[in-house]
Structure 1
Amino acid sequence: MIRKNQRFLTQLYILADFAFIQISFLLAWWLKFESGWVRFERPLPVEIYAFWSLVYGAIAVFIGILISLYSPKRKKRFSDEVLKLIQVHFTGLFVLLSLMFFVKQIDISRAYLFFYMIFNLLFIMLYRYFLKRSLKHLRKKGYNKQFVLIIGAGSIGRKFHDNLKQYPELGYEIVGFLDDQRVWNQTEAVRYRPILGRVDQLQEILEKKLIDEVVLALPLDAHSRYAQIIATCEKIGVRTLIIPDFFDFLPARPYFDNFAGMPMINVRDIPLDLTGNRLAKRLFDIVFSLIAIIITSPLMLLITIGIKLTSKGPVIFKQERVGLNRRRFQMYKFRSMRTLPEGAVDNGWTTENDPRRTKFGTFLRKTSLDELPQFFNVLAGQMSVVGPRPERPYYVEQFREEVPKYMVKHHVRPGITGYAQAHGLRGDTSIEDRIEHDIFYIENWSILLDVKIILRTVVNGFVNKNAY
């Protein structure tokens, strides 16, 4: 039943993609040649446009099949799907233009093609988003479930059981465990699914029960049993997934590499290590910071006047922070505190009712307006709009010894706002929680995630009770 449902969904996605491509053709044709909104030019017959739209639909679907756009999406993020859609339609456009050039069909309106591609991406992204949300809602209600058997009732298997229970929208139901030694006590029997038998009873269990996936959660010393377990699952036709005993050392989205002909797990795969991703993020940072500086320049002028009228000292406060690849830089802020005596060093946290703050500075810090000059740090390439917040060298040296994985944050440029800050982790909050959020951001970066963080920062407001 599950496989039939999956085939149906795959066919639905293919047909819907093709249908929305043709709807995009009709809308682009109307907008360019019939609406009167765009300068009219004598078009080729509509039949020619319709023919090439059908050709393009076939090209896009074929490319989508090649890059696994129509593979099962239950475990996939929507942002990954968006990236594949962009890849499909840009590649498809290149193939379409190449074919049209080859057959000397070069009189297609460029404005029409622009509208056509925009509508294609927009409509397909929207319908896929709402379909994905609808499927999650149905799975949460108990429809279209997949059934999972966990081999190993030790700490790894129990942790996977607890984690999976937190994502009911994925539509997975745990049937039970197989384990040779463990027996649930009374408390565990209430909390966990039952232990159905020993590991060597796997084939018998798979033949009796409806199971779609088997998750191996065995310790390293059981490595010799993997081959037989996997062979049994493949004999029955059940998918097998392996949770390595050292999963705590791995990133959220491990990357498999090939080195000297051997598959290897990259312990810290970072999307921003790729040149294309770095360029995309840098371009986004430059454009966004320029727009932000232009829009907020009147406000920055008013803040400058306010600082000058309310306290003595410079308008801009410079402080050394640790950034990308542990390099130090001067981070800019509007001064919110009284100037220190000459030679004094400030290594203290800002606290609630801190006597060092000026009255106007308290307002600036509460509203985060003191951070505005950091857009100039972004233009200079020292910071990004979104990223882990940078810290002073004194605290970096302290935290690197006390907080596991603290230094991972320095693999990317620090940001004005970040995933942790968008979730309320500012000021006097847990360093461990912030690092956990920072590492999630680093390992799951995408332009869409940056936009989401910025929107969340704006929607939640800049005022924060933990900002002192």
Structure 2
Amino acid sequence: MQQAETTALTVSRVAVPVFPGPPLVASPPFSTGTKVEARPATRLLRRLDERFSGLTVLLVLADLLALAAALIVIGEVTLTPVVAAAAGLLLCCRASARVYRSRLRLSWFDDLPRELVAVTAAVGMFVVVGGLVFDLGRSMVPALQEVLVAALLGLLLRAGVFQIARVARRRFGHGDRTVVIGTGKLATDLTQSMLEHPEFGLRPVGLVCTGRGGDCDHIDLPVITEPLVPAVLRSRAASVVFACPDVPDEETLDAAIQVRRLGATVLIVPRMFELYHDGAGVERLRSFPLVRLPSDPTRRPTWWVKRFLDSAIALVGLALISPLLLVAGIAVLIESGRPIFFSQLRVGLDGEPFTLFKLRSLRPANDAEQQTLWSVAHDPRVGPVGRFLRRTSLDELPQLWNIVRGDMSLVGPRPERPSFVEQFSETHDRYAARHRVPTGLTGLAQVNGLRGDTSIADRVRHDNYYIANWSLWLDARILLLTVREVLRRGQH
């Protein structure tokens, strides 16, 4: 992607570059050969704060206190397994309804619909499972009383938690250190609202202002002129707000990807924000709607579940398919001789190279050809065995060992050779951004027919969509679709 030339606008204190330019665009940490990292202590603190904010801890403690008080109210001296199961179900439903989330606006009324949904779901599931499946009968009555009383007490305690949090934000400056990136009046008005209303939990520590439609003179904050990633690291910013709807999307998108990988919360003022409706993922700071981006996939607790499942499934898979690999290896040996397997350098997470293993389906003329020439369909060097291995994707199965080693994942963007990564990164926007998660044995692009000699631009869009929308369920869907695609190809 080519960058536009940088111009500068002089304000009262420093020369502020106009977007697009160095303040917004920096060398991304996912680029090949470039890896931007905070110090270990900084990373640890950010991860702890990201997963367990002070507000989240207080809300969970309030619910635990409500559950304990409910036992006293209903006269239960001991915590029976049935009551404990009902209490745990209530906490799980509250967590699923995201009542423990970090948020800007501390409103008891905003959370009331979520509270009612969580309690209704907990009671409904407990009645169905306990009454119909386990036939608990009258032993369910104390448990239901515990849930309902705890829910009522929890509502009262949450009002107190919000009041404590508001006081902490207003009087003691508790809140996220925030860098604001914006264009003129919109950025300065939003920053002024943060300064005047600290109860929303954003404490501006720096401003990138282009001066379009206004200037930064009346905001008493440092104006940032250095690349964004170092600025976020040095200012110890926990949040970055993008208030630049008239800046080209590719510029803000690249910058948002970078700072999100550092663990910072990313909030974006959307285009035509005056017409924006409150909804899931939309925060509101006074009259400004802010879209909160989800945290980077690799920083979520479910990512560790993904890694465990990857290793377990790959190990079991290798054990089950070992006879098949033996037969395929003998067929390769008979058709074209040794070696049966071949290794190739590929680019993985954060642009780090690794050695990928495959069953050999053709014999390249030399190593340089293997590393730099694109594999095409109907290559005359591919024999009947090689064609069968490619059509059924059996040649990819040795990559299960790469997954066990941690080089790859079951699902993710397909890995590519370094020479092609360099070439595609220069010609396709955000190709290098694919490397912010581990590469995969299969991926969203592949189950949508984008394998072999197909559009690189389409692959990039599918891969980045996968990363932005990652979940364990999406991985499961892609694996099931992969099985379907392999069976279809095997029939042709």
* Normalised TM-score (structure 2): 0.48
Q: Which residue of 2 aligns with 1:244?
A: 245
Tell me by how many angstroms 1:270 deviates: 6.2
Give distance in 1, aligned partners of 2:160 and 2:413.
Answer: 36
Which amino acid in structure 1 is aligned with residue 143 of structure 2? Y
Secondary structure, aligned partner of 1:332? strand
Tell me by how many angstroms 1:431 deviates: 0.9
Secondary structure, aligned partner of 1:250? helix
Q: Which residue of 2 aligns with 1:103?
A: none
Change (3 A) 1:343 1:319: closer
Tell me by how many angstroms 1:374 deviates: 0.8
Tell me by how many angstroms 1:439 deviates: 1.8
Which amino acid in structure 2 is aligned with residue 435 of structure 1? V
Q: Residue 353 of structure 1 is aligned with which of 359, 375, 378?
A: 378
What is the percent sequence identity of the aligned residues?
A: 33
Q: Which residue of 2 aligns with 1:21?
A: 122
Change (3 A) 1:427 1:58: farther
Which amino acid in structure 2 is aligned with residue 326 of structure 1? G
1:325 aligns with 2:350: yes
Q: Which residue of 2 aligns with 1:370?
A: 395
Structure with higher RCO (Cα < 8 A, 6+ apart): 2
Change (3 A) 1:58 1:309: farther
Q: Residue 52 of structure 1 is aligned with which of 146, 150, 157?
A: 146
Q: Residue 443 of structure 2 is aligned with which of 418, 422, 425?
A: 418
Give distance in 2, aligned partners of 1:63 and 1:347.
Answer: 64
Secondary structure, aligned partner of 2:372? coil
Give distance in 2, aligned partners of 1:63 and 1:425.
Answer: 53
- After superposition, residues 303-322 of structure 1 pair within 5 angstroms as 303-322=328-347
Tell me by how many angstroms 1:55 deviates: 4.3
Give distance in 2, aligned partners of 1:254 and 1:305.
Answer: 50
Tell me by how many angstroms 1:319 deviates: 0.9
Give distance in 2, aligned partners of 1:64 and 1:301.
Answer: 62
- After superposition, residues 394-413 of structure 1 pair within 5 angstroms as 394-413=419-438
Change (3 A) 1:279 1:255: same
Tell me by how many angstroms 1:60 deviates: 8.7
- Unaligned runs of at least 5 residues, structure 1: 1-8, 36-42, 68-218, 225-240
Tell me by how many angstroms 1:420 deviates: 1.5
Q: Residue 433 of structure 1 is aligned with which of 458, 467, 484?
A: 458
Change (3 A) 1:10 1:223: same
Give distance in 2, aligned partners of 1:61 and 1:363.
Answer: 63
Which amino acid in structure 1 is aligned with residue 466 of structure 2? Y
Tell me by how many angstroms 1:48 deviates: 1.9
Which amino acid in structure 2 is aligned with residue 48 of structure 1? P
Tell me by how many angstroms 1:411 deviates: 1.9
1:336 aligns with 2:361: yes
- Unaligned runs of at least 5 residues, structure 2: 1-109, 162-209, 216-241, 269-291
The RMSD of aligned alpha carbons is: 4.5
Give distance in 2, aligned partners of 1:422 and 1:252.
Answer: 26
Change (3 A) 1:413 1:45: closer
Give distance in 2, aligned partners of 1:394 and 1:459.
Answer: 32
Contact 1:422 1:457 in 2 (8 A): yes
Contact 2:396 2:441 in 1 (8 A): yes
Q: What is the number of equivalent residue pairs in this alignment?
A: 285
Tell me by how many angstroms 1:345 deviates: 5.0
Change (3 A) 1:290 1:58: farther
- After superposition, residues 2-401 of structure 1 pair within 5 angstroms as 17-30=118-131, 33-34=134-135, 45-55=139-149, 221-222=212-213, 244-246=245-247, 247-251=249-253, 271-274=296-299, 276-338=301-363, 340=365, 345-401=370-426
Tell me by how many angstroms 1:352 deviates: 2.2
Tell me by how many angstroms 1:336 deviates: 0.8
